[in-house]
Structure 1
Amino acid sequence: MMRKTDDKELLNAIHLGDIHAFKTIFDRYWKPLYSLVLAITKDDELTKDILQNTFSSFWERRKTFIIEDSLLPLLNRMARNDIINQVRRNKVRLAWEEELVDELRLSMAADANLIARELSAEIDSEIVRMPVNMKHCFQMSRQDDKTIKEIATELRLSEQTVKNNISEALRRLRTHIRLIES
């Protein structure tokens, strides 16, 4: 019974701006509120932020509160409301972050597609400039997925000649791509 009267007296003093009364309320209820909020948030820093906001809001609105006995139910309700508000803010922030990530992914995909198209066009133009046998060996190997033996038979070339043509084609493409990148 004594504690309930004390809360009423302390709230009356707080109404008048008594910072010492406020500190007494803070010291009395900080730990139970901390335990309550931490059990919900599971985050120490977020819990401290919420409690700071709860007690700041309590001080700012001190003249509007009326209690029957204990301040704990009021402070619990304020802390829970602060948790709800924090969740709402985080949802908005998270939705915005997800939207930004999606935009970045789309942008990166568009850039990658553009780069791939440009690179493909460069490769195609370099293939066109290759000697006929080299071009045919490379295209049959990479585009038609034929083996060295199949290419050699079809073009009536030795397998070593086909290997040499493909190796030279790849060397030219690598060189051409390096020139583009620099």
Structure 2
Amino acid sequence: MTFQHRLSDQELVDLLKTGNQAAFTEIYDRYWRIMYGHVYKMLLDEEESKDVIQELFSSLWINSDRIPDQLNLSGYLYVMAKNKVLNLIRKNKFQTAYLNSLATFINEASTATMDELNERDLATAIEREIQSLPPRMKQVFELSRKENLSYKEIAKRLGISEETVKKQVHNSIKAIKHHLKASGGAALLALAFLR
């Protein structure tokens, strides 16, 4: 039995805040199984649950200096785990929406278009055009189309006006359409997320 094993959660947190690795190890040993159980109940996926737990404890170690002085450690870890699960679900939802948008276009595209471009070529062409946008325009476009944020949310996040966001998205779409058309991908103009 180690010295840390006899310490209370609060004493361990106090040591963790000073960068004490033994305190971190004891917290991990005490709580990883419990937190894994909570996360697994939410995700029902063993691998994703393990990833969330790894991220949870990595975040605890990296941000240990920002842990509140007085807290219920198990409650704190549970809230962190729940937030990480919700972020993962949101991220997966946006990725799914983006892929569904691409699938919708592919299903509606003409046979001639599909003969010209397979799915990978299509995604590559679109992504190449997005990556070639100027940095700020690209950032605004991706927040709008890949993360599904509203103009208002983007404006708030980036500290710019909604009108600027609207113009940046419009100009991004215009530039992407122009380059796709110029490169022979005229059929790509119908892509749902470029409307």
TM-score range, shorter chain: 0.5 to 0.7
CA shift in 2, pair 1:71/1:109, >3 Å: same
Q: Which residue is 2:86 aligned to? A: 84
Alignment of 1:105-124 (within 5 A): 105-109=107-111, 111=113
CA contact (8 A) 1:7 1:69 kept: no
Q: 1:103 aligns with which of 76, 84, 105?
A: 105
Higher helix share: 1
Q: TM-score, normalising length from structure 2?
A: 0.52
Is residue 33 of structure 1 aligned with residue 11 of structure 2? no
Q: TM-score, normalising length from structure 1?
A: 0.56
Q: Which residue is 2:68 aligned to? A: 66
Aligned partner letter, 2:54: Q
Q: Which residue is 1:44 aligned to? A: 46
Q: Percent identity?
A: 31
Q: Which residue is 2:19 aligned to? A: 17
CA contact (8 A) 2:24 2:61 kept: yes
How many Å separate the matches in 1 of 2:29 and 2:110?
53
Deviation at residue 35 of structure 1 after TM alignment: 0.6
Deviation at residue 55 of structure 1 after TM alignment: 0.9
The alignment's C-alpha RMSD in Å is 2.5
Q: Which residue is 1:149 aligned to? A: none
Structure 2: gaps spanning 5 or more residues:
116-195
How many Å separate the matches in 1 of 2:114 and 2:24?
60
CA contact (8 A) 1:4 1:69 kept: no
Deviation at residue 84 of structure 1 after TM alignment: 0.6
CA shift in 2, pair 1:109/1:66, >3 Å: same
Larger radius of gyration: 1
How many Å separate the matches in 1 of 2:51 and 2:35?
12
Deviation at residue 10 of structure 1 after TM alignment: 0.8
Structure 1: gaps spanning 5 or more residues:
114-182
Report Cα offsets for 1:116-141 as digits up to 9, x if no partner. Answer: xxxxxxxxxxxxxxxxxxxxxxxxxx
Deviation at residue 64 of structure 1 after TM alignment: 1.3
CA shift in 2, pair 1:82/1:112, >3 Å: closer
Aligned partner letter, 1:102: T
How many Å separate the matches in 1 of 2:6 and 2:70?
8
Runs of 4+ in 1 over 3 A off after TM superposition: 67-70, 108-113
